[in-house]
Structure 1
Amino acid sequence: MTLVEQLKDAMKVAMRAKDKPRLGTIRMALAAVKQIEVDTQTTPDDAETIKLITKLVKQRRDAIKQYEDAGRQDLADAEAAEVVVLQEFLPQQLTEAELEALISKAVADSGVSSMKDMGRVMGLLQSQVQGRADMAVVSKILKAQLA
């Protein structure tokens, strides 16, 4: 079952359960998938869908930070609920130890030893951790290892 099919099934379950917040979040994700279909004239595969959902999660986290800075905890809580729903459709998140091991291996494989070559290692890691880790955290760990 593809990720889009899983989203559609989850939408049906949320409709039957009359879970409006969950339904709204799933519909928003499906609308983003539909937008990609219209823009590219192709059906996105699971990797593209994971990339899209990761982008949506990142947008929600940025919004949470902005709402909290503005003192709007009610809106921040609504965004946080959307993040929880979206993360159900992402692969299992990597632990910090697993991330450090992946980063160490990528650094060793690429032979990078300075910060100026960090982009090359990030490029290698991008495909390995897509949807399974926040790239800001990956960047932070990589900087610590290269420093």
Structure 2
Amino acid sequence: MSLEQIINEDIKKAMLAKEEVALRSLRAIKAAILLAKTAEGAKDSLSADDEIKLVQKLVKQRKDSLEIFEKQNRPDLAQKEREEIEVLERYLPAQLTMEELKPIIADLITKTGASGPADMGKVMGLASKELAGKADGKTIAAMVKELLAQ
């Protein structure tokens, strides 16, 4: 079952249960899927990887907004973003912890032969492909930077 079908079913359930937060978040995913499918040069359906990237993008947008709202002392808007992030993250694979991420990135560093911060680009390219959907880019970059600095 594709993400779009799952979302459509969950929208129906959220409507019946009158879950406003879930409904708002699910409609955002559905809108993003429709935009991606109707974009110029797009295929009729999205691959599983594309669906994960799409949801990750929505989560990242919400996190960026959350950060801004917290800086501007807008707890009402920040709370909305937190609620939506929680719902959106249900549709992503489980994220790796820093402890789980460290050995994987250390292995990638040895594979690429990276020796210092100047080689960060090589490691990031490989890490981003291998860890797609399992960790966000900021977390991966922080770990790569930390391991290359040692």
Calculate the TM-score normalised by the size of structure 1. 0.95
The Cα offsets for residues 31-57 of structure 1, whole Å up to 9 and x where unpaired, read as 001001000331111100100110110
Question: 2:108, 2:148 → 1: CA distance?
Answer: 12
Report the 3-state secondary structure (helix = DSSP H, G, I; strand = E; otherwise coil) of the residue aligned with 1:89: coil
Q: Which residue of 2 aligns with 1:97?
A: 99
Q: How do residues 53-64 of structure 1 correspond to structure 2 at under 5 angstroms?
A: 53-64=55-66
Q: Which residue of 1 aligns with 2:88?
A: 86
1:125 aligns with 2:127: yes
Deviates further, 87-96 or 125-134: 125-134
Question: Cα RMSD between the aligned structures?
Answer: 1.0
| Structure 1 position 131, deviation (Å) | 2.1
Question: 1:19, 1:131 → 2: CA distance?
Answer: 27
1:12 aligns with 2:15: no
Gaps of 5+ in 1: none
Q: Which residue of 1 aligns with 2:35?
A: 35
Letter in 1 for 2:62: R
| Structure 1 position 128, deviation (Å) | 2.0
1:47 aligns with 2:49: yes
Aligned residue-pair number:
147
Letter in 2 for 1:119: G
Q: Which residue of 1 aligns with 2:72?
A: 70
Which of structure 1's runs of 4+ aligned residues deviate more than 2 A?
none
Gaps of 5+ in 2: none
Question: 2:18, 2:130 → 1: CA distance?
Answer: 37
Calculate the TM-score normalised by the size of structure 2. 0.94
Q: Which residue of 1 aligns with 2:116?
A: 114
| Structure 1 position 75, deviation (Å) | 0.3
